[in-house]
Amino acid sequence: GQQVMQIPQYQHVQEGEDFTTYCNSSTTLSNIQWYKQRPGGHPVFLIQLVKSGEVKKQKRLTFQFGEAKKNSSLHITATQTTDVGTYFCAGQTGFQKLVFGTGTRLLVSP
C-alpha cells in the first residue's frame, strides 16, 4: 500500500534558526496537504499543493511539491516558539483517501 515517510522525525532548533521537513511518497501523488498539530492538540490544515513543482508561501512558511509529485517539503524561516508542534504531510493518489505521513516534531528553544 501507499506509504508516506517524513524526515527528520524530530528536530530541536534555537529560535531564529530555519527548519525544513521532507515528505516522500512511495507512489505518485495527485495532491498533498500539510497539517500542524500543537502538543496536546489536534491536526490543523495548513495548505494543499496540486501542481507539479508548485511552491506556496504563508508568511515564514514555504511549501514545495516535487516535479515528479512524489515528494514535498515545508521550510520555516526564522523559527519562533509558536512554531512548536508536529508537522504532517498527507498525500492522495487518484481518488484514494489521504495517507498521513509519519510526522516531524519541531521543538524551538527561546
Partner 1 sequence: NAGVTQTPKFRILKIGQSMTLQCTQDMNHNYMYWYRQDPGMGLKLIYYSVGAGITDKGEVPNGYNVSRSTTEDFPLRLELAAPSQTSVYFCASSYGAGIQPQHFGDGTRLSIL
The contact set with partner 1 (CB under 8 A) reads 1, 30-31, 33, 41-45, 48, 50, 88, 90, 92, 95-103, 105
DSSP string, 44-95: EEEEEE-STT-EEEETTEEEEE-TTSSEEEEEESS--GGG-EEEEEEEE-TT
Determine the Cα–Cα distance for residues 17 and 61; give it in Å rounded to an integer: 13
Q: Which is nearer to partner 1, 8 or 41 (CB)?
A: 41
Is the CB of 77 or the CB of 98 nearer to partner 1? 98
Q: Smallest distance, Å, CB 15 to partner 1?
A: 23
Which one, 16 or 53, has the nearer CB to partner 1? 53
- Taking the C-alpha atoms of residue 80 and residue 60, their distance in angstroms, rounded to an integer, is 10
Shortest Cβ 87–partner 1 spacing (Å): 11
Q: Which is nearer to partner 1, 3 or 80 (CB)?
A: 3
Q: How far is CA 90 from CA 22, 32, 56, 95, 100, in A?
A: 12, 6, 16, 14, 4
Q: Nearest distance from residue 96's CB to partner 1, in Å? A: 8
